[in-house]
Amino acid sequence: MILARRARKRVEIGISLREDLWALGQPQPRCYLCGFLFGPQARDKFLRESKAGPPVSKLVDFTRPRGQLPAQLCIEVDHVIPVAEGGQTIVDNLRLACGWCNSTKNRYTNIYDATPWSGGIFQHPALGPVTRPQPLWVLRTVATRRRCEHPDGCSSKIEDSELFAGPRNPKGALTPVNLAVYCETHDPWHLDRWIGPKRLAASSTA
């Protein structure tokens, strides 16, 4: 794993390749793993037109706390086939990813690896004690299903919408078997998932 990371870091993603990837993402460049829409500050930093990236978020999704650090909101380039496995640094093998998804994915050999235990219990101010899923559970669920799974049907997919991991059964723990994918419109937690980062950290127990 360490060698894979070092190999990835040695590959330079030049400005020409960055511009090509940004152009291919139009009209709405998004993270290919979760559908997060990149803003103008992320775009300027990615294309090296500014050194300043997006500011930290005032509220974060407690199932996917992206935005606690500025880098999590920035645009990164992910190799679909890793460099360590022979993947090339060419447009066909590269995708735009948000910093949170890319760093979560890079902690494992692939998105199918995960520890079998939860990320602890979060004392949610409205929902009460809620199981915090492992970050990779959330990433894997959204990245592999890639569409809203609302039972009444929905056309939203990762190419045009940000997708969220939520419960199939609100009374059940947020384990992989109870995670479903929702768009913002059909998200059962659309009013409850956004929490202040400090409160999230203070309210989590192992």
Q: How would you write the pLDDT of the chain (206 residues) with one tens digit per residue? A: 444 444 445 567 899 999 999 999 999 999 999 999 999 999 999 999 999 989 989 999 999 999 988 999 999 999 988 888 888 999 999 999 999 999 988 766 555 566 666 678 888 888 888 888 888 889 999 999 999 999 999 999 999 999 999 999 988 888 888 999 999 999 999 989 999 988 877 765 44
Taking the C-alpha atoms of residue 122 and residue 151, their distance in angstroms, rounded to an integer, is 27
Instruction: Say how many residues make up the chain.
Output: 206
pLDDT of residue 10: 53
How many C-beta atoms surround the C-beta of residue 10 within 10 A? Answer: 9
Phi, psi of 68 (to 5 degrees): -70, -30
Phi, psi of 127 (to 5 degrees): -90, -15
User: Per-domain residue ranges for the chain?
Assistant: 2-106, 121-205
pLDDT of residue 116: 62
Taking the C-alpha atoms of residue 146 and residue 168, their distance in angstroms, rounded to an integer, is 16
Residue 201 identity: A
